[in-house]
Chains A and B, each alone.
Chain A
Amino acid sequence: MEQQCINVIQTMAPCLTSSGVDPGLAQFISILIGVVLVALFPLVLVILLIWMERKVAARVQDRLGPNRVGPFGLFQNIADALKLIIKEDITPAGADRTIFNLAPIIATLSTTMMWAVIPFSPVNIGVDLSIGVLYFTAIGSIGTLAIMMAGWSSNNKYALLGAFRVVAALVSYEVPMVLALLVPVMIAGTLSMQSLVVAQQGMWFIVPAFVSALLFYISNLAETGRAPFDLIEAESELVAGYNIEYSGMKFGLFMANEFMHAFTANLLFAVIFLGGWSGPGATEVPLLGFIYLFLKTGALYIPSLILRATVPRVRIDQMMGFNWKFLVPVAIVNVVVVAFLLQVTKALGIAPVPGETDFLANLPQALVLFVGNLLTIAVALEMIRRFGRQARSETSGAAVVIAEAHDVPSAAH
Chain B
Amino acid sequence: MLELNAQTIAFFIFALFALGGALGVVTSRNLIHGALYLIVSLFGGAGFFVLLSAPFMAVVQVLVYIGAIAILIIFAVMLTRGMTQMSEILNRQWWMSAIVGVLLFVMLGLGVILPVWGENGINPNRPVSDNVATTEDLGVALVDGNQYVLPFQVASLLLTGAMIGAIVLARDTE
A residues within 8 Å of B by Cβ? 96, 99, 129-131, 134-135, 137-139, 141-142, 144-145, 148-149, 152, 160, 164, 167-168, 171, 174, 191
Shortest CB–CB separation between residue B133 and chain A, in angstroms?
A: 12
Main secondary structure of the interface of B (DSSP, over half): helix
Say yes or no: is B15 at the interface (Cβ < 8 Å to chain A). Answer: no
Within the complex, which residue of B32, B56, B70 is in contact with A152, where a contact is CB–CB below 8 Å? Answer: B32
Are B62 and A145 interface neighbours, CB within 8 A?
no
B56 touching A134, Cβ below 8 Å? yes
Determine if A130 and B134 form an interchain contact, defined as CB atoms under 8 angstroms apart.
yes
B66 touches A145 (CB 8 A): yes
The answer to the question of B106 belonging to the interface, with a C-beta cut-off of 8 Å to chain A, is no
Cβ distance A270 to chain B, nearest Cβ, rounded Å:
22
Query: A131 near B59 (CB under 8 angstroms)?
Result: yes
Contacts of B71 in A (CB 8 A): 141, 144-145, 148, 167, 171
Instruction: Given A130-B55, A137-B63, A138-B63, answer yes or no on A99-B36 (Cβ-Cβ < 8 Å).
Output: yes
Q: Does B135 contact A (CB under 8 A)?
A: yes
A167 in contact with B62 (CB, 8 Å): no
Return chain B residues, CB-CB under 8 Å to A152: 32, 74, 78
CB < 8 Å: which of A96, A131, A160 contacts B78?
A160
Contacts A141-B68, A145-B70 given; indicate if A164 touches B63 (C-beta within 8 A).
Answer: no
With A131-B59, A191-B135 in contact, is A171–B32 under 8 Å at CB?
no
**Would B60 and A164 count as touching, CB distance under 8 A?**
no
Contact across chains for B62 and A130 when beta carbons are under 8 A apart: no
Which DSSP category, helix, strand, loop or mixed, fits chain A's interface?
helix
Most buried by A among B67, B72, B74: B67
B77 CB to nearest A CB, Å: 9
* Inter-chain contact A148/B134, CB cutoff 8 Å: no
Say whether B62 contacts A142, CB under 8 Å: yes
Interface residues of B in 121-174 (CB under 8 A from A): 134-135
The answer to whether A134 and B60 have CB atoms under 8 Å apart is yes
Which has the most chain B C-beta neighbours within 10 Å: A137, A138, A144, A160? A138
A–B complex contacts, Cβ < 8 Å, 21 sampled? A99-B36, A130-B56, A130-B134, A131-B55, A131-B56, A139-B62, A141-B63, A141-B66, A141-B67, A142-B62, A142-B67, A145-B74, A148-B71, A152-B32, A152-B74, A152-B78, A160-B78, A164-B75, A171-B68, A174-B68, A191-B135
The size bracket of the interface on B is 20 to 34
Which A residues lie within 8 Å of B55 (CB)?
129-131, 135
Smallest CB–CB gap between B49 and chain A, Å?
A: 11
Q: Is B39 an interface residue (CB 8 A)?
A: yes
Q: Which residues from A are CB-within-8-Å of B72?
A: 171
Chain B residues in 8 Å Cβ range of A96: 32
Min CB distance, B72 to chain A, in Å? 8
B70 / chain A contacts, CB cutoff of 8 Å: 145
Contact B74 A138 (CB under 8 A): no
Chain B residue with the shortest CB-CB distance to A160: B78
- Collect the chain B residues with CB atoms within 8 Å of residue A142's CB: 62, 66-67
Q: Give Cα A164 to B78, complex, Å.
A: 9
Q: Are B66 and A135 in contact (CB under 8 A)?
A: no
Roughly how many angstroms separate A164 CA and B66 CA in the complex, as a whole number?
17
Q: Which residues of B contact A144 (CB under 8 A)?
A: 67, 71
Q: Enumerate chain A residues within 8 angstroms of B62, measured Cβ to Cβ.
A: 138-139, 141-142
CA distance A142 to B74 in the complex (A): 13
- Nearest Cβ in chain A — how far from B51, in angstroms? 15
By a CB distance below 8 angstroms, the chain A residues around B63 are 134, 137-138, 141
Closest to A133 in B: B59
